[in-house]
Amino acid sequence: MSNYYNPQRIRGLYKPGGKEPFRLSRSRIDLFLNCPRCFYFDRRLGTDRPPGFPFSLNSAVDKLLKKEFDIHRAKGTAHPLMKNYGIDAVPFADERMDEWRDALRRGITYLHKDTNFMITGGVDDVWVDPKGELMIVDYKATSKDAEVSLDADWQIGYKRQMEIYQWLFRKNGFKVSKTGYFVYCNGDADKEAFDAKLEFDIKIIPYEGDDSWIEQTIADIHNCLNSDKIPNAGSDCDYCKYVKAINCK
């Protein structure tokens, strides 16, 4: 089987009037918000954006963090980072954690009956406080000189990601805190020598989510996919700008 990019997909497309629930991932919702036109080409017409290169180092950090927090999940104890930041919680122990983390095949799901969309998302971690309230947690990795934060305009995608996860867990009947946490790992490039290891400064950043935008967005996506009109491009979509520039040549 070829691993090359296939610009003409026939599977996983939305068909107006279809009876089976249509799987709509957290990342596709974000794509719609970034560029309805690219979203329509992808989910309705079968042409997705060319894929980017995988962030293998980020994936390694993500995997190691999960292993580390899972040790405390099994023991029912707080991770030292949680103690350092005064977070009164422990990693949530639930037999479905591996399922919820599997964004590609399973994830946490909710059938939105009004649209027949199966909304899905793959969460990094979940913590729980003494009152039984869940805290959604997302891991991030980078390497920059400045202090990590959530202040950049492009990080709106991180915030929406958190809010969709919070919404999904609420729809599954869980009591969910408005406050979620980003465990942000920043690679330290100022060491005198590499010595075959990269050290990280780890910061936990709280974020108070607001999922009030999600229901309307799902309705907008439903209207978009049921229309035969290709929507306009997002104002900041580099992909659409590139295609437009090529077509003008």
- What is the Cα–Cα distance from 63 to 65, expressed in whole angstroms? 6
Over 50: is that where the pLDDT of 9 sits?
A: yes
Say what the pLDDT of residue 155 is: 85
CA angle 111-112-117, nearest 5°?
Answer: 80
Instruction: Look at the chain and count its residues.
Output: 249
Q: What is the pLDDT of residues 129-142, one digit of tens each?
A: 999 999 999 998 87
Residues in Cβ contact with 170 at an 8 Å cutoff, skipping those fewer than 6 apart:
176, 211
Say what the pLDDT of residue 71 is: 95
Does any domain span residue 169? Answer: yes
Say what the pLDDT of residue 152 is: 79
- What is the Cα–Cα distance from 69 to 6, expressed in whole angstroms? 37
179 bridge partner residues: 208
Residues in Cβ contact with 134 at an 8 Å cutoff, skipping those fewer than 6 apart:
92, 126, 127, 128, 169, 174, 175, 176, 177
Other CB atoms within 10 A of residue 24 CB: 24
CA angle 12-168-127, nearest 5°?
Answer: 125
Say what the pLDDT of residue 249 is: 67
Q: 3: pLDDT confidence band, cut at 50, 70 and 90?
A: low
Over 50: is that where the pLDDT of 1 sits?
A: no
In one-letter notation, the amino acid at residue 109 is T
Residue 172 domain boundaries:
55-213
Does any domain span residue 5? Answer: no
In one-letter notation, the amino acid at residue 83 is K
DSSP labels for 29-91? HHHHHH-HHHHHHHHTTS-PPPP----HHHHHHHHHHHHHHHHHHHHT---HHHHHTT---EE
Over 90: is that where the pLDDT of 93 sits?
A: yes
Q: How many domains does the structure of the chain reveal?
A: 1
Say what the pLDDT of residue 230 is: 95
Mean pLDDT of all residues in 195-204: 74
Residues in Cβ contact with 130 at an 8 Å cutoff, skipping those fewer than 6 apart:
88, 89
Between 191 and 113, where is the model more confident? 113
Say what the pLDDT of residue 30 is: 95
For 239, the token pair is: 């992909």
Over 90: is that where the pLDDT of 56 sits?
A: no
Over 70: is that where the pLDDT of 125 sits?
A: yes
Q: What is the pLDDT of residues 144-173, one digit of tens each?
A: 777 777 777 888 889 999 999 999 999 999
Does any domain span residue 134? Answer: yes
Residue 102 CB burial class (10 angstroms; 0-12, 13-18, ≥19): middle
Say what the pLDDT of residue 79 is: 94
Does any domain span residue 101? Answer: yes
Q: What is the pLDDT of residues 59-88, one digit of tens each?
A: 888 888 999 999 999 999 999 999 999 999
Does any domain span residue 33? Answer: no
For 173, the token pair is: 């009947």
For 90, the token pair is: 């422990």
Q: 191: pLDDT confidence band, cut at 50, 70 and 90?
A: low
Contact 134, 91 (CB under 8 A): no
Mean pLDDT of all residues in 17-27: 94
| Stretch among 25-29, 50-54, 65-69 having the lowest mean pLDDT | 50-54
Does any domain span residue 89? Answer: yes
Say what the pLDDT of residue 160 is: 95
Does any domain span residue 248? Answer: no
CA angle 42-48-54, nearest 5°?
Answer: 135
Output the pTM of the full model: 0.89
Does any domain span residue 145? Answer: yes
